Amino acid sequence: MARALYPGTFDPIHNGHIDIAVRASVLFDEVIVAVYDAPPKKLLFDTADRCDLARAAFEHVPNIQVVTYEGLTVECARELKADVIVRGLRNVADFEYEQQIGWANSELAPGIELCCLFCSSEYAYLSATILKEVANLGGECGAWAPAYVLDALGRKLERPIRNNAPKLYLRHEDKLVHRD
Ligand code: ADP
């Protein structure tokens, strides 16, 4: 049985993250989405909100659970008995970052493998930063995050968020999983 840890800031979770986690849930028996509690960067959402939004994203996927963690990712992986750390790759910059931190992590925790999945092409340019900036400037965000994430962004930014996307579905083990 293989358990994967998918760590990140998820400020907030978006369709690129969701795509990676759901694809990992097909590859591994269990996926633990680990929301980093105190990253060294300024965040829009607090930890509880980032966790709640992530939980809403995966409530229909039985082998994905969401936790928060502080400190070293490899310590979290060890404590949760994860075999693998999953990360998403969008571009060369992600690759170089993940390669470096992956080697550091394998020095710190030799038994834990790194599994990098290429992002799906439609999310190659998407980041939480782009999502927040476009949302704040009134651009269309419907293809980038589920409706409840956009609603939460609207409350946080105190402005309406444009969402003209049709309802989206994800495929999980041959079932269509409603994502909004
Ligand atoms: P971090 O702060 O560590 O970059 P993020 O919350 O931004 O964490 O992202 C968590 C993980 O999701 C990382 O592996 C990141 O590369 C991946 N990721 C971010 N955006 C996308 C995307 N558009 N498609 C696929 N993976 C992504």
Domains present along the chain, CATH in parentheses: 3-125 (3.40.50.620)
- Look at residue 174 in the predicted model and tell me its pLDDT: 58
- Round to whole Å and give the CA distance between 112 and 105: 8
User: How does pLDDT run across 140-166, given as a tens digit for each residue?
Assistant: 999 999 999 999 999 999 999 999 876
* Shortest-distance Cα residue to atom 26 of ligand 1: 88
Q: Beta strand pairing status for 30-36 and 64-69?
A: parallel
- Round to whole Å and give the CA distance between 8 and 77: 13
* Shortest-distance Cα residue to atom 16 of ligand 1: 88
* CA distance readout (Å), 85 to 60, 93, 145, 162: 22, 19, 23, 34
Burial bucket for residue 23 (CB in 10 Å: 0-12, 13-18, 19+): buried
Sheet with 3-8: strands ordered across: 64-69, 30-36, 3-8, 84-89, 113-118
Q: How far is the CA of 90 from the centre of ligand 1 (A)?
A: 8
- Look at residue 175 in the predicted model and tell me its pLDDT: 56
CA atoms within 13 A on the CB side of 22: 27
Can you tell me whether residue 19 is helix, strand or coil? Answer: helix
- Look at residue 38 in the predicted model and tell me its pLDDT: 81
- Look at residue 40 in the predicted model and tell me its pLDDT: 73
**Amino acid letter, residue 138:** G
- Round to whole Å and give the CA distance between 104 and 114: 11
* Shortest-distance Cα residue to atom 8 of ligand 1: 8
Residues of the chain falling short of pLDDT 70: 39, 166-180
- Look at residue 15 in the predicted model and tell me its pLDDT: 96
Pocket of ligand 1 (CB under 6 A): 8-10, 16-17, 20, 87-88, 90, 94, 119, 123, 126-128
Q: What's the gap between Cα 178 and its chain centre? A: 17
Q: How far is the CA of 176 from the centre of ligand 1 (A)?
A: 24
CA atoms within 13 A on the CB side of 8: 24
- Cα dihedral 146, 152, 153, 155, rounded to 10, equals 150
**Amino acid letter, residue 87:** R
* Shortest-distance Cα residue to atom 20 of ligand 1: 127
